[in-house]
Amino acid sequence: MNQIAPGWEIVSCRAKRPWHAIYMFLQMIVGNPDIVPAASSATWTVREAATGIVRKVTARSEQEAGEKIVSGNFDVD
């Protein structure tokens, strides 16, 4: 499994609004990858390798999700 943050493995990732992926793809084609819809986000389900604890985190990128995990800013269940 891929690690998203030290000690945390990605279990799954689900887009909140999948149609935003089409918009983002079109922006990359026209050469403007910085424009990302504000509502575009995904929820990562992650597992702590040492304890097996499963948590969720919602973010606009995998990097942002990793930063939230490191800071302990998980979604409220």
- Judge whether 39 and 15 are in contact, CB under 8 Å: no
Domain-wise residue ranges, the chain: 3-71
CA angle 57, 3, 61 (to 5 degrees): 45
What are 17's two structure tokens?
Answer: 């609004």
Q: What is the pLDDT of residue 51?
A: 96
Taking the C-alpha atoms of residue 28 and residue 19, their distance in angstroms, rounded to an integer, is 15
pLDDT score, position 36? 47
pLDDT in tens, 34-69: 554 545 688 889 999 999 999 999 988 888 999 999
**pTM for this entry:** 0.69
The whole-angstrom separation of Cα 52 and Cα 60 is: 25
Instruction: Judge whether residue 33 has pLDDT over 50.
Output: no
